[in-house]
Chain A
């Protein structure tokens, strides 16, 4: 799978960071794991003012060969989750969502709160006690609460201060070539990036594991100004279109059919020549790829592309089912394909860019 010098995809990294908590604004635990992994592989490593992890790597000096463009590779560490906003006197926790979560997945869901992973359930009235007329209605998140089993505000407050974050209580598992876990958007991208830097890349690379993408592409906006790359590639986890009943041509992109390339989404139109470069590299190196659905979604690339005087930017995504939901699925072969594709693209950029 990992032919021609491209590094192997490190699934162990994905497992670790998928299980770790990291809601937008509270990414410390994920950052700590990635910092440990990156430390020996980068020439410099820092945490920027917003909390993004930034590592700079110089390529090996090669006699006569051109150095190539400075490439920013970016993946976001944050996931969607909840923030505890108030503690009622009976010990129930009120919350607000951080990032886009469909309210219908909340009732009956289990969450883990804080670094200690205190378990909490989103309580809901059993059907027997709900009038027939109400059973079709979706409960507004403002009317839901987290129950940690505490009997009073004091008991809850001791362990859970206001402002604590909660993540889906999901544990990473392997099912054949399929992997199940939470936050594949975008721990998949983070793991691909961490895998790529295990080998010294062919061009100068700044690896950015950004914060707060899910609440407005914020970390990348600031980081791009400091990094000032010549080219940027964002590594994402994107939604598949597969569902029963939909006509087949509507179901793309598909899990297992290779990394998805973005042409256009709500945050940017991908730089035409950069996209061509990636496409032709994929063809040449026989990496299976597919198109991401145009006009939906947005990524850090949207902010990076417009920073400063502009940066040619592209997005390569691992296709996942059920993003922004408790348990997502991906095909581990796609993660390897993405790693391979980005690696070879760096090589092409070194030879041909600008």
Chain B
């Protein structure tokens, strides 16, 4: 499927099915590089981040979205030919049951042992069934094999439904936004970061190299993470007020709020206690970077696929386009 059309309808399905578990993002890296061709100067760094320098005059603005999506890593093949796994990323063990994973042209199914009396699903009781049989499995799925959630996003009425929407939805929105931008008012850098699900690792090194004056992080936030004042699907992009390790910088938040007003984008506030995004490391880079977080609201289903409202995603695109064309007025960084 071609990623040359930069509209969400074709972009999101294509990006969502690209192979890119944390630390092994080769597939999504290639798909993103294809999708951003012609939009600026693209390069890759030691951790696998894709850096796109779009350019423009004015303060150095960084927009970033993580491109890795949760995966699994094989820890051994047991006597019955089932591979045992460990999880990479924040998806709960119970939500992996029934998922298809893929790597290197191979595929497998995640199942659960259902141990007697178990009230919780532990990762140790999950298995990866490849149908290869004991001897072949031990040979073809060595320890350290990394599998991605194999899924292609599709429309379900007003919603997008897919396994890798966190954060391929953010990546797709970011590409659709910069593709349609007219007259940027900042020197724009875009980073599709790697290894976010291993502790925001790619974001750390990419921001170190860029030294932006201001940064906006695009990610996904799940409904149900707050008891009161929760976010909801269909109410527009979430602006982050607090998450684990992150509080917005007033100047960065001001940029996003002004853009939202100018673009007439309705938004909601995000406060979450125990999850985080790359924002927490972006803001702490070097001498510090004024950072704001924009998150697409999403809903879990208890299984591998999650849901995002299609209109919320369009509104994120609209908001990001406006951010790029709104001059940042905060203090510039030392360089």
Q: Cβ of A310 < 8 Å from any Cβ of B?
A: yes
In whole angstroms, what is the CA distance A303 to B77 when docked? 31
- B201 to A, closest residue via Cβ: A306
- Is the pair A310, B76 in contact by a Cβ cutoff of 8 Å? no
In whole angstroms, what is the CA distance A249 to B79 when docked? 8
Q: Cβ of B117 < 8 Å from any Cβ of A?
A: no
Stretch in B147-155, B204-212, B300-308 with 4+ CB within 8 Å of A: B204-212
Question: Which one of B49, B75, B86, B205 lies within 8 Å of A308 (CB-CB)?
Answer: B205
- Is the pair B143, A269 in contact by a Cβ cutoff of 8 Å? no
In the assembled complex, how far is the CB of residue B123 from the closest CB belonging to chain A, in whole angstroms?
9
Question: Which one of A247, A263, A268, A311 lies within 8 Å of B198 (CB-CB)?
Answer: A268
Q: Cβ of A272 < 8 Å from any Cβ of B?
A: yes
Q: Cβ of B47 < 8 Å from any Cβ of A?
A: yes
In whole angstroms, what is the CA distance A310 to B205 when docked? 5
Among B191-209, those with CB < 8 Å from A are: 195, 198, 201-202, 204-206, 208-209
- Is the pair A311, B142 in contact by a Cβ cutoff of 8 Å? no
Q: Cβ of B272 < 8 Å from any Cβ of A?
A: no
Q: Cβ of B179 < 8 Å from any Cβ of A?
A: no
Q: Cβ of B144 < 8 Å from any Cβ of A?
A: yes
Q: A264-B144, A306-B201, A308-B208 are in contact. Are A269 and B79 (CB under 8 A)?
A: no
- Is the pair A294, B201 in contact by a Cβ cutoff of 8 Å? no
- Is the pair B45, A310 in contact by a Cβ cutoff of 8 Å? yes
- Is the pair B73, A264 in contact by a Cβ cutoff of 8 Å? yes
The size of the chain B interface, using a CB distance under 8 A, is 30
Q: Cβ of A293 < 8 Å from any Cβ of B?
A: yes
Please, which residues of chain A bring their CB within 8 A of the CB of B142? 291
Q: A269-B22, A291-B144, A306-B205 are in contact. Are A311 and B79 (CB under 8 A)?
A: no
- A295 to B, closest residue via Cβ: B86
In the assembled complex, how far is the CB of residue B59 from the closest CB belonging to chain A, in whole angstroms?
21
In the assembled complex, how far is the CB of residue B135 from the closest CB belonging to chain A, in whole angstroms?
13
Residue among A268, A310, A311, A312 with max Cβ neighbours from chain B (10 Å): A310
Please, which residues of chain B bring their CB within 8 A of the CB of A247? 78-79
In the assembled complex, how far is the CB of residue A221 from the closest CB belonging to chain B, in whole angstroms?
11
In the assembled complex, how far is the CB of residue A170 from the closest CB belonging to chain B, in whole angstroms?
31
In whole angstroms, what is the CA distance A268 to B88 when docked? 11
In the assembled complex, how far is the CB of residue A210 from the closest CB belonging to chain B, in whole angstroms?
19
- A230 to B, closest residue via Cβ: B46
In whole angstroms, what is the CA distance A317 to B213 when docked? 41
- Is the pair B205, A309 in contact by a Cβ cutoff of 8 Å? yes
Q: Cβ of A172 < 8 Å from any Cβ of B?
A: no
Q: Cβ of A36 < 8 Å from any Cβ of B?
A: no
Q: Cβ of A84 < 8 Å from any Cβ of B?
A: no
- Is the pair A309, B208 in contact by a Cβ cutoff of 8 Å? yes
Q: Cβ of B23 < 8 Å from any Cβ of A?
A: yes
Q: Cβ of B185 < 8 Å from any Cβ of A?
A: no
Q: What mask results when residues 71 to 86 of chain B are scored 1 for a CB within 8 Å of chain A, else 0?
A: 0011111110000001
Q: What mask results when residues 31 to 49 of chain B are scored 1 for a CB within 8 Å of chain A, else 0?
A: 0000000000000011101
- Is the pair A294, B86 in contact by a Cβ cutoff of 8 Å? yes
Q: Cβ of A332 < 8 Å from any Cβ of B?
A: no
- Is the pair A293, B75 in contact by a Cβ cutoff of 8 Å? yes
Q: Cβ of A158 < 8 Å from any Cβ of B?
A: no
- Is the pair B143, A305 in contact by a Cβ cutoff of 8 Å? no
A-B contact count (CB 8 A): 72
Please, which residues of chain A bring their CB within 8 A of the CB of B146? 263-264
In whole angstroms, what is the CA distance A273 to B205 when docked? 18
- Is the pair A306, B143 in contact by a Cβ cutoff of 8 Å? no
Among A188-204, those with CB < 8 Å from B are: none
Please, which residues of chain B bring their CB within 8 A of the CB of A310? 45-47, 49, 202, 205
Among B15-29, those with CB < 8 Å from A are: 22-24
Please, which residues of chain B bring their CB within 8 A of the CB of A102? none
Please, which residues of chain A bring their CB within 8 A of the CB of B206? 309
Q: Cβ of A12 < 8 Å from any Cβ of B?
A: no
- Is the pair A309, B144 in contact by a Cβ cutoff of 8 Å? no
- Is the pair B75, A294 in contact by a Cβ cutoff of 8 Å? yes
Please, which residues of chain B bring their CB within 8 A of the CB of A307? 205
Q: What mask results when residues 269 to 304 of chain A are scored 1 for a CB within 8 Å of chain B, else 0?
A: 111100000000000000000010111000000000
In whole angstroms, what is the CA distance A308 to B23 when docked? 18
Residue among A271, A295, A312 with max Cβ neighbours from chain B (10 Å): A295
In whole angstroms, what is the CA distance A311 to B49 when docked? 13
Q: A249-B76, A264-B73 are in contact. Are A309 and B45 (CB under 8 A)?
A: yes
Question: Which one of B49, B74, B195, B204 lies within 8 Å of A269 (CB-CB)?
Answer: B195
Please, which residues of chain B bring their CB within 8 A of the CB of A306? 47, 201, 204-205
- Is the pair B76, A252 in contact by a Cβ cutoff of 8 Å? yes
In whole angstroms, what is the CA distance A268 to B143 when docked? 16
Please, which residues of chain A bring their CB within 8 A of the CB of B87? 295
Among B201-244, those with CB < 8 Å from A are: 201-202, 204-206, 208-209
Q: A264-B73, A310-B47 are in contact. Are A294 and B144 (CB under 8 A)?
A: yes
Please, which residues of chain A bring their CB within 8 A of the CB of B73? 263-264, 294-295
Q: Which residues of B contact A (CB under 8 A)?
A: 22-24, 45-47, 49, 73-79, 86-88, 142-144, 146, 195, 198, 201-202, 204-206, 208-209
* Known pairs A250-B78, A311-B46 / 17 extra A-B pairs, C-beta < 8 Å: A249-B78, A252-B76, A263-B73, A263-B144, A268-B198, A291-B144, A293-B75, A294-B143, A295-B75, A295-B86, A295-B87, A295-B88, A309-B46, A309-B205, A309-B206, A310-B49, A310-B202
Pairs across A and B, CB under 8 Å, 25 listed: A249-B78, A249-B79, A250-B76, A250-B78, A252-B143, A264-B23, A264-B88, A264-B144, A268-B198, A268-B201, A269-B22, A269-B23, A269-B88, A269-B195, A269-B198, A272-B24, A293-B75, A294-B73, A294-B143, A305-B47, A306-B204, A308-B205, A309-B45, A310-B205, A312-B46
Q: Which residues of A contact B (CB under 8 A)?
A: 247, 249-250, 252, 263-264, 268-272, 291, 293-295, 305-312
The 5 closest A-B pairs by CB, nearest first: A269-B23, A263-B144, A295-B86, A310-B46, A310-B205
